[in-house]
Amino acid sequence: EIRAVKSPFEIELLRSAARLTDEVFAAVPSLVEIGMTEVELAGRLESLFRKKGHPGLVRMRGFNQELVYGHLLSGANMAVPSCANSPTGGAGTGPDFPQGASLKAIVRNEPFQVDYVGSFHGYLIDQTRLFVPGRLSPVLEKAFQTALAIQKRLVEMARPGIAAGELYNEAARMAEAAGLYGHFMGDPHSCGCLGHGIGLELNELPVIAPGVKMPLVPGMTIALEPKFIFGGLGLAGIENSFVVTAQGMQRLGSLPDDIVYI
């Protein structure tokens, strides 16, 4: 609980991690080639992260939780769950590490997500953007717009004193109103939360999940990731990292939320 609230110095390190991550994400359209595998694109992005100072390590608090940079997934691979406490998993390169980028090719008219963890001097931020080489399914387009609406509403609600669980409840209510609750946050056995604290570890307090009574406090840093998973099709959603201030939530990064069409 002590680590849940960051000092001004720590928040500046997190802002630096967000700037680094924004720069890498902005380079995705220039690095992707149709027909290349997810792993090939992941290698290009991870090389760029390393050149910008990323140590290549993502520390996690959860028992037996492992992650390498994040999840770069395309098409139906975006809907493959894993043992990770995450709405996404992916097939990975084999059963020895069944999550993340696979040998599947990136093809036209199949979206891909970049859900990566930026790091600066050990401090971690979590960010997701959706990229589309061609056209996006209307089902995924509707889900994406719903995810944006959920993010906007939660940022409005997230004032000091509100219980973390109330944010989840509102997001679930909006997902149900949109007729998408059955796809909200993917397999319930993989992920029971909508967001999580970030800092020296990727999954710190507070947890944005049902029943969590921990109140938001200025200085908390949180990743919010409203996402919708569709088996055999893919996913649509957004993820940004925020700091709680006396006035409400403030984005740590500045990358636009829009779908990036390539």
Region 6-22 average pLDDT: 98
Residue 67: the pLDDT is 82
pLDDT band with cut points at 50, 70 and 90 for residue 83: confident
Percent of the chain with pLDDT over 70: 97
Q: Which residues contact 114 (CB under 8 A, 6 or more apart)?
A: 25, 28, 45, 70, 72, 128, 129, 131
Task: Please write the tens of the pLDDT for every residue from 215-230.
Answer: 999 999 999 999 999 9
pLDDT above 60 for 189: no
Percent of the chain with pLDDT over 90: 85
Residue 23: the pLDDT is 98
Question: What mean pLDDT value characterizes the chain?
Answer: 95
Region 86-96 average pLDDT: 89
Region 3-31 average pLDDT: 98
Task: Please write the tens of the pLDDT for every residue from 165-187.
Answer: 999 999 999 999 999 999 999 86
Give the count of beta carbons closer than 10 Å to the beta carbon of residue 177.
11
Residue 65: the pLDDT is 76
Residue 82: the pLDDT is 76
pLDDT band with cut points at 50, 70 and 90 for residue 81: confident
Residue 190: the pLDDT is 61
Nearest to 236 by CA among 75, 36, 40, 80: 75
pLDDT band with cut points at 50, 70 and 90 for residue 87: confident
CATH tag for 2-261 (out of 3.40.50.2000, 3.40.50.970, 3.90.230.10, 3.40.50.300) = 3.90.230.10
pLDDT above 70 for 89: yes
